[in-house]
Amino acid sequence: MDHDEERFQFCSLESEGVQAIQPSIEVVRQWHSEGNGKGRKRKKNTQPQLGVDDDEGEDYFAFQAKPSKTTKSSFKDLSDKVLIKAFIEGVPEQARNTEYAEHRALLHKELKKSFPKWMHQIQSGFNLLFYGFGSKLKLLDEFGKSMLSAYPLVTVEGYSPTTTVRNLLTMITQSVLGVVQPMPAEPMDHCRVLQTMFHSQAAARAARAAIPEDLFIIVHNIDGLALRSPAAQSVLARLASIPQIHMLASIDHAYAPLLWNHIMVGHFNFAWQDATTFEPYEHESEANLALYKSFGKNEVQSGHKSVRSVLNSVPANAKRIFKLLANTQLQKIKEMKELGGRGAARRKAIALAEFSTMCEQNLLAGGRDALNTHLREFFDHKIVKKVGQSGEEMLYVDMSEKELVSVLQEDLAKVD
């Protein structure tokens, strides 16, 4: 028996199928008595590591010292996996499952009988929170059409990755209140200004805001990924606390209430409603497929699908401005072709000052600040870009001519 075998005892763990190394108490004492314990400076690489080669140990620590991969590269590898591809292709098929369709229809019919009760609770000063298994999108939309047709209504798609509270605030400010003046860039500051307008008639008159007696907001999936941040929930809670605003929201995550502290809970003032529908999350799933397909891409796609998602989330005035910009760009492209020019970004772009004047003439935006506010979502998603030319800011849509024509014909044809 050699020296190493004398100093260590081996214990076989037959149940686990492995061997563990356990130094005996006598060996440990002997090791300390030889001066190997605390207080003595160890010599580098004097003792061989049991079960690990020197090269392997160095490779391990060298690997650990390397910076970790970023999510871009890891998601790029992940997006190529068969599992993700199968998930993307399989969700719509599962969502279209028609099994137990008759039972779900009966359940939906029973839930519709609660519409008068829900309306009474709203009139009593409560906001409503709908929980339960299954998509509640169809149920809430039907409630809005049948019970809220006489009131201004704003719908928020919390399940969409492109949804932001900034979109909601802009829609309330411009589409509901008719305010065109620039608002604070920070959502919470914007929300405070709205709160002041609703509370003070003088502030509303100063902003030329048409304050409605009742404003309804339906938030599909208030616990959606795009709205889960504390800042977003704080803005929603503050909006819900305004007496003239009535909020109807749905949740699907089991731990959704953990998003709110006691202050938010007081502001929301929710009356909980069991709205178990067992309906498939078809629309919600389709809205998130683009997010899974974009894994590994360095920038947000600026194609037709991405533009359509943004157009669905911005107010009508922002759509009109984008339509004007797209038509102007197509006209410049046409002029370039007639002159035999190429489609460089600088050539098809329009001066920001010139376009701001066009928006003012068409009563779409009053000045550059208002224009930038309307186009902020398009800037954030890299659909509309700015370039500098001779010290002047230029504006253009980062899309091909074919894509611009498709967007104008399919998505903006009904926008006046």
Same domain, 138 and 260: yes
Domain boundary, last residue among 234, 266, 294:
294
Residue 388 placed within a domain: yes
Most confident of 82-96, 188-202, 369-383: 188-202
Residue 36 placed within a domain: no
Tell me the pLDDT band of 26, cut-offs 50, 70 and 90: low
Residues 313-335 have a mean pLDDT of: 86
Residue 91 placed within a domain: no
- Give the CA diameter of the chain: 98
Q: What's the CATH number where 289 sits?
A: 3.40.50.300
Same domain, 311 and 370: yes
Residue 391 placed within a domain: yes
Same domain, 154 and 233: yes
Across 130-146, b (16+ Cβ under 10 Å) vs e yields: bbbebbbbebbeebbee
Same domain, 404 and 355: yes
Q: What's the CATH number where 368 sits?
A: 1.10.10.10
Counted domains in the chain = 2
Most confident of 69-73, 201-205, 400-404: 201-205
125: left (phi over 0), alpha (psi -120 to 50) or beta: left
Distance in angstroms between the alpha carbons of the first and the last residue of the chain: 94
Same domain, 290 and 345: no
Domain boundary, last residue among 294, 314, 340:
294
Residue 344 structural domain: 301-412
Strand 350-351 to 392-397 pairing:
antiparallel
Tell me the pLDDT band of 259, cut-offs 50, 70 and 90: very high
CB 416 within 8 A of CB 313: no
Residue 236 placed within a domain: yes
Domain boundary, last residue among 236, 267, 294:
294
Check residue 96 and give its pLDDT.
54
Same domain, 289 and 346: no
Structure token pair of residue 400: 């091909």
Same domain, 185 and 263: yes
Same domain, 117 and 199: yes
Place of tokens 């049948």: 146
CB 284 within 8 A of CB 221: yes
Same domain, 235 and 376: no
87 against 171, higher pLDDT: 171
Overall pTM > 0.85: no
Write the DSSP string, 285-299: HHHHHHHHHTTT-SS
**pLDDT tens, position by position, 122-169:** 999 999 999 999 999 999 999 999 999 999 999 998 888 778 898 899
Check residue 264 and give its pLDDT.
95
Tell me the pLDDT band of 303, cut-offs 50, 70 and 90: low
Same domain, 128 and 249: yes
Residue 5 placed within a domain: no
Residue 365 placed within a domain: yes
Residues 228-256 have a mean pLDDT of: 94
Same domain, 287 and 308: no
Same domain, 288 and 403: no
